[in-house]
A and B are shown apart, each in its own frame.
Chain A
Amino acid sequence: MPGEVWILVESLRGQVLPTTSELLTAGRRLADAAGARLVAVHLGPGADALAPGLDGADALLAVDHPALAILNPDLWVRVLEALLAERRPRFLLMGNLGYELTADLAARLDVPCLSSCQELVLEHDTLVGTCRVYGGKLLAEVTSAAPMVLAQLLPGAFAPLPAGPAPAVEKIACPVSLEDPGTTFLGLDMPPAAEVDITAAPVLISVGRGIGAAENLTLAEDLAAALGGTLAASRPVAELGWLPKARQVGKTGQTVRPRLYLAAGISGAPEHLEGMQGAQLIIAINTDPQAPIFQVAHYGVVGDCLEILPALTAALRAAEDA
């Protein structure tokens, strides 16, 4: 129905993912402000089992087709493009799937899109999105009064809703042909068994590109040894091969909630914060006073980690000897 607010359900192995609950929160607010229905949209089989996890939605629209069981970019774009063109909702909100789908759909349908939104409000009939840009150093407030807008929300930005009744499921036939797909899923590779499980470590000493060179990692290793901690890393450090991928924290790495997360030379891009902002105590060392990591740190040091790390190691050793 025109005017509805839609969210795209994200699920894994029959479970609704936390990002979906965040979409429901954001969607509910918009739907209430617009006096519209909030509709959860699910592609693939298994909608009935997911419905109880989608409380907050007024309805669950399900395209139950086995070819949509896993994200296949071309097929999902085809189906969503057809649904959006036919039913003309006012908004479609997406979480992590939005990285794959939002822009392509928006361009095909010639409708506006917003990405990395941490806030979405309706002012009169205009959507105002607050988007994280420049690695989290700035926010961009973007507006659109278009009749349809697609938005990708920043994971972690919206608190889940309290539980409510499950929505009624409306199953519909696949609105387009899924023949001759432009993308074909070939398989899923699990990561090799990790030599360490950073998600279980109470103390993480995490290094970013600011550590400068692989040989400087010994400074973090020494501190980890003195403090009884485990080494972790930002994506570039893992990508450059300075530390194994299993130690990467963030969106494409691990989500950690240690007692202490000490971030050395990490800027605090949204994709990194996503994996560590639940830590109980965050200490950040960075030469840049504007680094976004300081937005989430309990304690901050504007300084050179190549100097602070060894100084802290020495202080710990001295305290041990005393």
Chain B
Amino acid sequence: MRILVLLQAVPDLTGDLQVAPDGLSLAERGGGRVLNEFDEWALEEALQLQAAGEGEVHVLVPQANGARDILAAAWAKGARRVFLLPGSWDGVGNWGLARAVAWVVQDLPSELILTGMQSPKDADAGLGMLLAGFLRRPHVNGVRRVSLAEETAVVEKELAQGMVARFAVRLPAVLGLIGARTAPRYLPLHRLRQAAQTVPVEELPAVTPSGPLPCTLRRLLAPPPARPTTFLRGDPSQVADQLLAVLREQHVGRWAQDAR
């Protein structure tokens, strides 16, 4: 069984995210792109299925800064084939990207497509569920574990308060992952560097999203704070003293009785 894993390079959220002067894109400040966190779980679950002899993992990454590193890492972790989708995908949203992917996967037969449940740039919607719609394949989103039988995947979908719903999904299908049976495996830096030299990337024919995009991004902006935050400054012990004063004043912890 072929398992196609869709991975995306996204801005590193721990970095300084600033809006570019055009108001529509991010200023690239060397903050770099990283693999979308939820895609990393999707890749791990796929590799676990492969290790259990239940399938062969292929990876598809749309072109972006950092895409080749992601392909190299996926290959070093065990993906059998790695594909690059050429093109410029920054301005087209997941809608345009999903359309293009739906087009190319017709030539990359797979019984199961896995991807992260969401990515940080989803103003339109998650890539996986859009893809399921364009391909008219059954889907489940928010999945944390997959097992495979002949023509079905049995999945665990996370709900609120730790509840889990189990579904059987008829293949071919698309699943959006939020977790995996084990945490994503660690790849030592030297193996990544080695893979970057040798990874056999297969470049797919270029496609452009067809038809007009149904939504227009008008601007990106920083969110206003929900409430004014008082920032405490100083070295750690000075900050600790200020925090202590706050707790005392707000009657928290051992000062809770003072409020009564």
Contact of B246 among A146, A227, A248, A299 (CB under 8 A): A299
Cross-chain contact B222 with A248 (CB below 8 angstroms):
no
Cross-chain contact A138 with B124 (CB below 8 angstroms):
no
Q: Does A114 contact B (CB under 8 A)?
A: yes
Q: Does A296 contact B (CB under 8 A)?
A: yes
- CA distance in complex: A294, B225 (Å): 8
Cross-chain contact B120 with A135 (CB below 8 angstroms):
yes
CB contacts between A and B, total, < 8 Å: 278
Interface residues of A in 111-164 (CB under 8 A from B): 111-116, 128-129, 131-144, 146, 152
- CA distance in complex: A301, B236 (Å): 10
Beta-carbon contacts of B118-134 to A below 8 Å, as 1s and 0s?
Answer: 10111111101111111
Q: Nearest A residue to B222 by beta-carbon distance?
A: A138
Cross-chain contact B14 with A288 (CB below 8 angstroms):
yes
Q: Does A173 contact B (CB under 8 A)?
A: no
Contact of B138 among A73, A300, A314, A319 (CB under 8 A): A73
Query: Which listed segment binds B: A29-37, A48-56, A102-110?
Result: A102-110
- CA distance in complex: A102, B128 (Å): 12
Interface centre among B124, B134, B156, B232 (most CB of A within 10 A): B124
Interface residues of A in 43-98 (CB under 8 A from B): 70-74, 77, 96
Q: Does A213 contact B (CB under 8 A)?
A: no
Count A-side interface residues using an 8 Å CB cutoff: 98
Cross-chain contact A133 with B121 (CB below 8 angstroms):
yes
Q: Does B16 contact A (CB under 8 A)?
A: yes
Cross-chain contact A267 with B123 (CB below 8 angstroms):
no
- CA distance in complex: A115, B176 (Å): 15
* Interface size range of chain B in the complex: 35 or more
Cross-chain contact A137 with B13 (CB below 8 angstroms):
yes
Contact of B223 among A111, A138, A310 (CB under 8 A): A138
- Distance (Å) between the CB of A73 and the closest chain B CB? 6
Q: A103-B128, A184-B169 are known contacts; what are 19 more A-B pairs with Cβ within 8 Å? A: A70-B165, A73-B138, A133-B120, A138-B17, A139-B221, A142-B217, A142-B218, A146-B214, A184-B168, A189-B165, A189-B166, A229-B253, A240-B183, A246-B162, A260-B250, A296-B226, A302-B231, A315-B237, A315-B244
Residues of B within 8 A of A (CB): 11, 13-14, 16-17, 19, 94-95, 98, 117-118, 120-126, 128-134, 136-142, 154, 156, 158-170, 173, 178-179, 183, 214-227, 229-233, 236-237, 239-241, 243-244, 246-247, 250, 252-254, 256
Residues of A within 8 A of B (CB): 70-74, 77, 96, 99-100, 102-108, 110-116, 128-129, 131-144, 146, 152, 181-191, 202-203, 227-229, 239-241, 245-246, 248, 251-254, 259-260, 267, 277, 281, 283-284, 288, 290, 292, 294-304, 307-308, 310-312, 314-316, 319-320
